[in-house]
Chain A
């Protein structure tokens, strides 16, 4: 959830927030007592997971533990920027987002930058900046369901999976959760047959996601381990992805999370790949 959660927990849409903020939760609770359309749950969950605030930044620490218990770490700063849709609806979430990921550790990737323009309905645009060569490299978009920087999180976990790609069924509403069963519309190209998400009713944050493989066996579990309210946005500050089949897990901790920092669009460009926006990285 790293990039994703973090980046995403932001977006400036007041309407979107109203639904997700605990304080204003009375209405949503009242609503859920009857029934809230499943698509609305999915949309709100997607919004609070990936689109909170107009922009956001966080320091991210990843601990990657392999199936023999050996650990490796990744430390990076992530900046996220939501491109305002032109004359768009303020509630839209499927607009372009830009990410700037500046690595601190391990040493071999220190000061390397990974930049992504996430395009709705199209492949990402991605760049890599290698400081030792002063090289800006355009890189091909990869399968969204491959590991992000060697962790147990996939690119898609970090930057979001489009709700359009699955069908969603509300199988249960508990005191705390909407329990959603999600089935891919096109099962080619994904390694799961379905996943179940426990979405916190008050905040719409996914607290746990279990993936079943094509044999119906549970093999991958996401859990939100800590939530803090930052700048009014409930934010997952610690999460974990476990690989039950191969073993191993990755834990992500977000610190110094800030929303609505006022990042300019220009940061997500070659100029800032070669000359990092240090003020926003500290």
Chain B
């Protein structure tokens, strides 16, 4: 009896040691204090299955007790974020529609002297407002840019050419009359095709002035006034776009960008602005663009057709001397999909210049066969490279050469262009460095578009970039713009 009583403390001690031993990590590579506490939602609410014995004291919660307590606010995991969310919703809900947009200022200068143009390449501030209102099967969207441009002060608003203090970029209704049919009516920006800053079957209007002077890339696409019907079936999808009146490019006309004037045989600018005779009869001078597309496995295949006009001047009137937009039909196809670690694409287009099918009319552009092949792949962390090869092959090159006035430099039968795109993201993807370069070995000219942008915070972005043209000849595609080479900076506040 006495010995048993004397042994009792020892037994208790042994028991305690045994219990502690159970809780020690021992040889386990994982230390107990690494064990996470149960997050809210698991710990208090977990019902212990009735079959399980209750844990003895000393085992319960020993690990969590060594864990740092959750900071205040975390235990109510979702509440703070929701409260934040509500604030934002309240701000937006004050309006009966969705409002967003940005304000920006942009300035740039020519790096070379151009006697025919202003030294400033761009100097403008812009407020873009987007209003969107959606109902069950209808979305109304409008985007308008208010522009103040003290350098190229042009107060008269021309919504067709995007001039003046207001540019209407979008104003359309998107309807879904049936699950397999979407219809978009009104002013809209349209894009299709597979090229990267090269366009074969995308014959929607481009704004080359904006592109060359360093506006945001968004402004390369000019809006169309169109009806777009999209039909979706299991077999294939069909887009039909009808533009009741021709929407030309906002083409290079000498006002902001100097160019090579073939008739005058030299580079000109504001001294020889292009006077154009644009087809502009409603419903007569219309355009139709069609795309039929479907997935083939992981590849996307598409067929295209277009009937309308050369989008930038494709000839001149021998009598008036005005630039004209001859009739054009284009038929093409594209294929895009994963190849190796990247994305590959090919696209072809047959340009049927209907007013010069024989190629012997010196005043109308020849027909062409265009082809491009591209490949893009990630080559490092947040580092992407893309290359493209592009070909413009003149149909009836011989007749074209014969039709040229003596002494006028002509285009080669084949114009080859290579492009390179490099994009690198740094600093948590807030700093973006990019370069896009076009190089044409046949014309011996090139165009470089370096760009750097930094997101200061969720609202402010600052950027700088350039448009640098080099070439041996005055008349080649990129070489003619040599004196328009420019550098620019910009700042934008998005909301």
Binding site for B on A (CB under 8 A): 22-23, 25-26, 29-30, 59, 61, 64, 66, 70, 72-73, 75, 105-108, 110, 123, 125, 132-136, 138-143, 146-147, 149-151, 171-172, 174-177, 179, 181, 196, 198, 200, 202-203, 205, 207-208, 210, 223-229, 234, 236-238, 248, 253-255, 266, 269-271, 274-275, 278-279
A2 to B82, CA, bound (A): 16
Q: Which residue of A lies closest to B134 (CB)?
A: A278
Within 8 A of A (CB), among B342-357: 342-343, 345
Give the A-B contact count at a CB cut-off of 8 A: 201
Question: A172 — which chain B residues lie within 8 A by C-beta?
Answer: 25, 28, 30
A53 to chain B, nearest CB (A): 18
Partner-A contacts on B (CB < 8 A): 25, 28-30, 32, 34-36, 38-42, 45-47, 49-52, 55, 59-60, 63, 70, 74, 77-78, 81-82, 84-85, 88, 100-102, 134, 136, 139, 174, 176, 179, 182, 188-192, 217-218, 220-221, 230, 232, 237, 293, 298, 300, 336-338, 341-343, 345, 376-378, 381-382, 384, 425, 428-430, 455, 457-459, 461, 494-495
- Note all chain B residues with C-beta closer than 8 A to A271: 182, 230, 232, 237
C-alpha spacing A174/B35, complex, angstroms:
9
Cα distance, A237 to B42, chains bound together (Å):
12
Q: Are A72 and B55 in contact (CB under 8 A)?
A: no
**Alpha-carbon gap, A151 to B430, bound state (A):** 10
In the bound complex, residues from chain B placing their C-beta under 8 Å from that of A238 are 39, 74, 77-78, 81
**A279 contacts which chain B residues (CB < 8 A)?**
136
Which of B36, B182, B384 meets A274, CB within 8 Å?
B182
Q: How far does the Cβ of A68 sit from chain B's closest Cβ, in whole Å?
A: 11
Write out the residue numbers on chain B whose beta carbons fall within 8 Å of the beta carbon of A181. Answer: 29-30
Query: Among the listed B46, B84, B459, which residue makes an inter-chain contact with A107, where contact means beta carbons less than 8 Å apart?
Result: B459
Q: What residues of chain A lie closer than 8 Å to B52, measured between beta carbons? A: 29
* A106-B459, A225-B74 given; A171·B338 CB < 8 A: no
Q: Which of B30, B218, B495 contacts A179 (CB 8 A)?
A: B30
| B59 x A207 contact (CB < 8 A) | no
A224 partner residues in chain B, CB cutoff 8 A: 36, 39
Q: Is the CB of B41 within 8 A of A138?
A: no
Q: What CA separation (Å) do A182 and B431 show in the bound complex?
A: 34
Contact B377 A140 (CB under 8 A): yes
Is A110 within 8 A of B100, CB to CB? yes
**A129 CB to nearest chain B CB (Å):** 10
- The CA-CA distance from A241 to B159 in the complex, in Å, is 49
Closest to A196 in B: B30
Residues of A within 8 A of B457 (CB): 70, 72
A-B residue pairs in contact (CB < 8 Å), sample of 17: A26-B51, A29-B52, A59-B85, A72-B458, A107-B100, A140-B378, A149-B429, A179-B28, A207-B36, A225-B74, A226-B41, A226-B78, A227-B39, A237-B77, A238-B39, A253-B82, A255-B78
Q: Which residues of B lie under 8 Å from residue A177 when comparing CB positions?
A: 35-36
**Can you name the residue of chain B whose Cβ is closest to the Cβ of A200?**
B42
CB-CB under 8 A for A174 and B63, given A132-B218, A181-B30, A226-B40: yes
Given A106-B494, A255-B85: A207 touches B237 (CB 8 Å cut-off): no
| Shortest distance from the beta carbon of B126 to any chain A beta carbon, whole Å | 13
Chain B residues with CB under 8 A of A175: 55, 59-60, 63
Contact, CB under 8 Å: B459 / A150: no
Q: A147 contacts which chain B residues (CB < 8 A)?
A: 382, 428-429
Is B42 within 8 A of A203, CB to CB?
yes
Closest to B70 in A: A225
- Of A23, A108, A132, A200, the residue contacting B461 (CB under 8 A) is A108
What residue of chain B has the Cβ atom nearest to residue A271's Cβ? B232
Chain A CB within 10 A, most for which of B34, B174, B217: B34
B49 touches A133 (CB 8 A): no
Residues from chain B with Cβ under 8 Å of A106 in the complex: 458-459, 494
Known interface pairs A29-B51, A108-B461, A123-B338. Does A253 touch B36 (Cβ–Cβ under 8 Å)? no
Cα-based distance from A123 to B341 in the complex (angstroms): 8
Q: Does B40 contact A140, Cβ atoms closer than 8 Å? A: no
Instruction: Specify which chain A residues have a CB less than 8 angstroms from the CB of B232 in the assembled complex.
Output: 266, 269, 271
Among candidates A22, A125, A234, residue contacting B298 with C-beta atoms closer than 8 Å? A125
A147→B428 CA distance, assembly (Å) = 8
In the complex, the chain A residue whose C-beta lies closest to that of B102 is: A107
Q: Is the CB of B428 within 8 A of A66?
A: yes
Given the complex of chains A and B, what is the CA–CA distance between A207 and B356 in angstroms? 71
Q: Which residue of A lies closest to B189 (CB)?
A: A134
Residues of A within 8 A of B29 (CB): 171, 181
A266 to B88 alpha-carbon distance, docked (Å): 31
Distance of A207 Cα from B337 Cα, bound (Å): 38
Residues of B within 8 A of A123 (CB): 338, 341
Q: What's the nearest-Cβ distance from chain B to residue A15, in Å?
A: 19
Kindly provide the distance from the CB of B59 to the nearest chain A CB, expressed in whole angstroms.
Answer: 7
One of A125, A140, A198, A237 near B78 (C-beta < 8 A): A237
Residues of B within 8 A of A203 (CB): 42
Instruction: Report Cα–Cα, A271/B458, bound state, in Å.
Output: 29
- Shortest Cβ distance from B423 into chain A, in angstroms? 11
**B77 and A270: CB pair below 8 A?**
no
Q: Which residues of B contact A72 (CB under 8 A)?
A: 430, 455, 457-458
Contact of B42 with A225 in the complex, beta carbons under 8 Å: no
User: Which of the residues A66, A105, A174, A275 comes within 8 Å of B458, measured between beta carbons?
Assistant: A105
Cα distance A210–B360 in the bound complex, in angstroms: 73
Q: How far is the CA of A141 from the CA of B342 in the complex (A)?
A: 7
CA distance A150 to B430 in the complex (A): 7
With CB as the reference atom, state the residue of chain A lying closest to B37.
A207
